[in-house]
Structure 1
């Protein structure tokens, strides 16, 4: 159980060390503020017992659970602060990678005899012999413990062993033949402060046996600006202990078990001389536990009397791969000039080299060279490096035929010879003749030679067979000797519902000659739940398959899945319908949907169909116009209610349905004629068709480069396009007046002599840009697309 109470991340900012002593001198359940100090906003104070109980009742969590949450929160904050640190990792920083909670104050009695007792320790007094009893006793503020019916004795300041003798003397006055066993059952808690260059300083309530490293860990440890070499314990305004973490981290030495008392301050000063160690040192920078990223070096902190020899010692010395003759020292002078010097790798030279702030010491890495070995690679039983000896030849490395595999290619091997000046030469040999001892192929080997052997399959094209058609797993498969058509069918899965299950075709390809096509009785080749034709060996019914053959399966000519169409807008029952006739028509679909509503405008009905090619001749130039229209800047204020009303009005009529930059998929259909029974105007419905019946309107629309670029106007009988453009404020300077288009309510596009055309309800005048320009209204772009208008048309049925 963790009894560490993190009292706060910070202390009052104006408190100096002298005031801090008074600050800590308050009772443990209450910290008094210095009269002239202003508490830091982030500082926390300990809660009274009543406050803790109240919080526990309010949150429904136990004290232990609340403490766990506080510790978890502090750990998260410290991790976030450490994540901001950049640069090389500091030596000994890994001591604080994980924030460990303070050890529990509760013990099992296993406290050493030299432990010095103090106020707050809870003891167990076990008396046996002429009298037998076991009572708890807490050291009070006077340093005494009280044993009922026996008396009191002072134990504060005594070791546990000495205290046991004192209690024995007290008990002996009452019971002459009684013995005493004294154990510490709960350690006293002390309040200490961690200040200076730490991640989360403040006041901490810890057990009296907490080590300095443990208490430092509660604060996250020294920051990138804090010292690891001169951590100080301040008591009564005097520094009474110094802690150097380097001996602990490097050699496991150092007095970290210093006994802390209430009011002690652990202070971390600014870092001293800081140098960077890079290269082939034994103690290389480990990857960060937080990010997993490795560092390029380790940052060391040195004391004034320490030298380069101490720095190398902290790094554990050099790696075997390091260049051992000298190290390099990089230094920046006060003028910013970088200099590099070599330091001989001797104890005396390193001892004589003083290091300064921001120096960089590098241990260079030697380039590895392979000497006295021959390398064997490729399709061989035991590839690798082998020792070279005088007179070594290819056959010796192959050890007869023990190194060869069954598929090793014997026609050729390669030898790449590397000379001392790094030139390389390629030599080839016949492996079979080398094994026979032919001197011209059983080549003499030299150090650094590399032999490569190949496999027979390197000289064979991959042998594949293919299955196409409505199988569940069509594709390309490996060919095997003895494979038959039924084996290929089995690999392709089972025929789909649309497949003709009666016959298939197998196409043989022979050396570029015309394909030989064999007709197969597919039913006899299929594997089913009842069995598989594995015993069918008839070459006519189940022919053998050669490499690169193709098996084809075809669909039924009259097969069809459910054909569906969608109708929306102003009909009684909008939705998706399955076509139940061979040639259903538009009028029949509208009748199935319950007919039109009273607000329907069939004249402006929209019929959408995915086109496979070409398109409507009337679409000439409209795709480009729409692309430019989509770039027109919206000039209407979007924040005003009027502007919103204009945009809403534009959405209501689905006038641009089926128009896109890529193609026109809106068909011009005479809905009124079709509904009146005119077969010539009715349209046969196809799978995927979409029909939308918009709401009745008496308005026409202007879209594009006008003074009111997106506007709705009530149609006056007899009004022309020119009148509508004039009402819209006229054309802008960037309007393309030669490409103005009139889109009629039924989808027809008028592109000639537009200004004189009569405007009817539901019509739209499109005025594109003359010059494309960048716009900043991308949020409105989607509102002009056919999909957005389609959704709006359905929504406002």
Structure 2
């Protein structure tokens, strides 16, 4: 941007001229401004405000006091009591000699401890200050004056407790409350000024340094806001610790005890007595508690309570908020230890003397529930909308239980209800009545009820047999179905999901039992019935009717087989006929690849295991095994000598090379799978050898060659039971010199079975035989 020298020169000249004019004026610019405002109609204030300055407390963020966070850990476990009591065993020398039953909760917290768990931050600039606040050194006061004198002063209380007011002098305010200080300052101003008003407020509070000692979580020296009270200091120190007193907290100023603070009165009643404002140098001392008792059971606030000397059981119950409605005030159990011995006593609060019972340190008080047994009550049970307990009254009858409109279901059995009535020794007798007649007002049937009666109402369905019909064959969901009123053949077909594709719709068979004696069979045009339910053949079904929908003979479904591995086109192929063979499937798959290993072909037929399961071969084997008789003469079956899974029999052993050459073949079935692997180049060795593994195949070598390459036989190897497993699944028993080894073979070397000999058992049996023989000889010689 290009500067214009002419314009700059003109601006400098104007500025210089204005300065010269202002210098010639007989008054200041501010006075000239006020004169112009006065000419324009502005009102001049009655006086000028002196020394106005916004107090610093409103210009800067307020002081924040946060209770110190220190590493004080109190382990708190979560206990859940499932019963209203727990049993405390008394164990002596490892034996339980007594069991003391106490009320729950089994684990208690110290009353008042939660008060210090959540200490908020304190913004001192936002805290209200009462008129009773005691002014001290370091406080900043704001004095506002208006009327004949307009002024605002920010005044700091010095170490002598005085403030300096211009044209007035020092005024002593230290130790005065805020309201008293305001009166003192106004009196001092009145000596020099008249016709004015004033107000004195606290601008910024001083800080006080106090000492919190004794049994607190974090004893130490604390700098607190000047408006702090005893509770503030206790909160800063984390509150009393596990053995600290909540009831007898002492505050010392100098050498004098000036107050005692009781936290229980503060928590329960809101009394602030003893919660005094603190001053610098104050000492808050928390001693050990004197008496701590446990209060459990049916009270509003179960906890551990601290008591003062001469306080009674009534006092601790007041701290807990009193008993719950179900609390038994006549049998309060106290477990006590005095002079090194355990004692137990029972208190009756309705006794004016016992209610004054003093408590001892360590007392464990249990308030149990009153007897939960309800005497004047009856129980309505069974098929009713609202079963449960009902209050009994004198003259109560059956009809009194069913006065509401919805007291019974529509299908309630009205001809009878049962009453089970208590008699001697907890037994009951049975009474019955007609519910229908009782509700109609029949006095003979509307029986009087007695306390503890059980009235049982029944459903009409209880006395009706469930009725079913059955459908099997070519339907989607064959099975048993409930028989409904007016149910017909078309309905049961619909319930069964309709027909399968191979269903023979011209005729279905219905079998019916007549009067439980004879059986009737007839055929129905099931297809017409389903498409036109209005025809007469759509008969109504009766109980236990059996419908059988036939399948169309020779109905063909799609069947498939899977061929995987070393063929040119592996995949799943649909069978073209029931006589299609494996060789034909191999041709459809494009034949074998060059890497096909024929001896390792695996053929799986799932139908085999299904057939085995139908034949229940496992049961046949178990029934043909050896039986033994134990020493008690009981017959015991030994475990199976071998165990197998039927699915293991799905694998068929075949010679694929003979099938390829046309010498042999196998007809394929639905679900068959054949896998043709690549030609391997190794022989696997497993079992009792130095190292299981695979050895590279070498033509012409025997079994011993491959075993030696695998580390040789172990000490426990049984070289007389070696098995050679061929890739197609064939197994041969071989010796070490066998050379019938090919690629992909597995050599299995089993361990030798050791026969353990029980010498003592053998000797015992021998002695029994010899003893029997000697007895026989002795008898013969005596003849």
- Mapping of residues 465-484 of structure 1, within 5 Å: 480-484=484-488
SS in 2 for 1:664: helix
Q: What is the distance in 1 between the residues matched to 2:148 and 2:476?
A: 93
Q: What is the distance in 2 between the residues matched to 1:368 and 1:135?
A: 74
SS in 2 for 1:766: strand
Give the one of 81, 102, 108 matched to 1:89.
108
**Which sections of structure 1, spanning at least 5 residues, go unmatched?**
11-76, 286-297, 526-535, 622-658, 773-797
| Deviation sequence 1:647-669 (CA, Å, 0-9, x none) | xxxxxxxxxxxx99774377467
| Deviation sequence 1:715-739 (CA, Å, 0-9, x none) | 4444444454455445556667776
- Name the structure 2 match of 1:282: 299
- Mapping of residues 364-763 of structure 1, within 5 Å: 364-379=368-383, 384-390=389-395, 393-394=397-398, 406-419=410-423, 421-432=425-436, 434=438, 441-463=445-467, 480-484=484-488, 510=513, 513=519, 518-521=524-527, 538-540=534-536, 543-546=539-542, 557-560=555-558, 567=564, 577-579=571-573, 582=576, 603-604=599-600, 610=606, 613=609, 663-664=647-648, 667=651, 673=657, 680=664, 687=671, 689=673, 691=675, 693=677, 696-698=680-682, 700-708=683-691, 710-732=692-714, 740-744=722-726, 746-753=727-734, 755-758=736-739, 759-763=741-745
Quick check: 2:718–2:750 contact (8 Å CA) kept in 1? yes
- Name the structure 1 match of 2:335: 330
Give the one of 347, 352, 355 matched to 2:360.
355
Q: 1:483 to 1:214 in 2, by over 3 A?
A: farther
Q: 1:348 to 1:396 in 2, by over 3 A?
A: closer
1:9 equivalent in alignment to 2:70: yes
Quick check: 1:471–1:493 contact (8 Å CA) kept in 2? yes
Q: What is the distance in 1 between the residues matched to 2:478 and 2:141?
A: 82
SS in 1 for 2:648: coil
Give how far 1:459 is off: 1.8
**Which sections of structure 2, spanning at least 5 residues, go unmatched?**
1-61, 81-105, 619-642, 755-783
Quick check: 1:119–1:142 contact (8 Å CA) kept in 2? yes
Give how far 1:554 is off: 8.9
SS in 2 for 1:277: strand
Give how far 1:613 is off: 0.9
1:112 equivalent in alignment to 2:94: no
Aligned residues: 629
SS in 1 for 2:657: helix
SS in 2 for 1:521: helix
- Name the structure 2 match of 1:101: 120
Q: 1:680 to 1:267 in 2, by over 3 A?
A: farther
601-610 or 364-373: bigger deviation: 601-610
Q: What is the distance in 2 between the residues matched to 1:153 and 1:553?
A: 117
Q: 1:761 to 1:181 in 2, by over 3 A?
A: farther
Q: What is the distance in 1 between the residues matched to 2:750 and 2:567?
A: 34
Q: What is the alpha-carbon root mean square deviation over aligned residues?
A: 6.2
Q: What is the distance in 2 between the residues matched to 1:736 and 1:675?
A: 37
Give how far 1:751 is off: 4.9
Quick check: 2:720–2:735 contact (8 Å CA) kept in 1? no
Q: 1:664 to 1:422 in 2, by over 3 A?
A: closer
Give how far 1:594 is off: 11
Q: 1:432 to 1:139 in 2, by over 3 A?
A: same
TM-score by length of 2: 0.59
SS in 2 for 1:458: helix
Q: 1:85 to 1:490 in 2, by over 3 A?
A: closer
- Give 1 or 2: higher strand fraction: 2
